[in-house]
């Protein structure tokens, strides 16, 4: 399962770097990196379509070679926490992509300008980031395959005490 996941993430990562380059270099998004009167925008957009289309065509043709049917035995395992981390990071990337592309789509479709600013990213990204922080803290102490509540409690006792003391000290410090 994670092999196919990795394949899709590689395609998405490369495609999003091309999309980001297209957005800034073609003056779709105002940036200090814009090229004035440059024809690079359509070429980057074509390359983006080629990367996404070609990547997923390759995945459709050869997906069975990188796909294993085994899924994590339990979410309470290191593999399960790793999968949760991947999902949270992907969700965070989608939130950023949506906040970046939404104003462009609205302006293109309706002609009205919409601004997505810090309040959107604070409201959407901060809860995901806290969940990700929790999963990243739990992951290294979670055993492979399957964890019992007793094992997790024993392994998380000291890290939770240290994290709680640190959070309390930071809250008191302001």
pLDDT tens-digit series, residues 61-112? 887 777 665 666 677 788 888 889 999 999 999 999 999 899 988 988 898 8
Q: In this predicted structure, which of 27-31, 53-57, 90-94, 129-133 has the lowest mean pLDDT? A: 27-31
Half-sphere exposure of 156 (CA within 13 A, CB side): 18
| Cα separations in angstroms, 19 against 23, 41, 85, 172 | 6, 10, 24, 43
Exposed e or buried b for every residue in 14-24, given b needs 16+ CB within 10 A?
Answer: ebbebbebbbb
Q: Which token pair is 144?
A: 């492979």
Whole-number pLDDT of residue 124: 95
pLDDT tens-digit series, residues 133-167? 989 988 888 888 887 888 888 888 998 899 899 99
Phi-psi region of 102 (alpha: psi -120 to 50; beta: other; left: phi over 0): alpha
Read off the DSSP letter of residue 13: H
The pTM (predicted TM-score) of the whole model is 0.76
Helix axes 118-138, 149-173, angle to 10 degrees: 140
């Amino acid at each position: 399962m994670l092999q196919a996941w990795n394949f899709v993430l590689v395609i998405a990562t490369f495609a999003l770097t091309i999309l980001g380059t297209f957005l800034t270099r073609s003056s779709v998004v105002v940036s200090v990196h814009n090229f004035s009167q440059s024809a690079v925008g359509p070429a980057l957009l074509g390359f983006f379509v080629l990367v996404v289309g070609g990547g997923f065509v390759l995945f459709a043709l050869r997906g069975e070679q990188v796909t294993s049917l085994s899924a994590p035995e339990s979410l309470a395992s290191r593999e399960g926490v790793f999968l949760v981390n991947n999902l949270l990071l992907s969700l965070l990337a989608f939130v950023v992509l949506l906040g970046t592309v939404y104003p462009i789509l609205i302006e293109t479709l309706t002609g009205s300008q919409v601004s997505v600013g810090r309040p959107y990213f604070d409201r959407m990204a901060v809860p995901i980031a806290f969940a990700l922080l929790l999963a990243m803290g739990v992951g290294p102490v979670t055993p492979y395959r399957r964890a019992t509540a007793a094992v997790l409690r024993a392994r998380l006792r000291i890290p939770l005490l240290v994290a709680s003391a640190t959070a309390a000290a930071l809250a008191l410090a302001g």
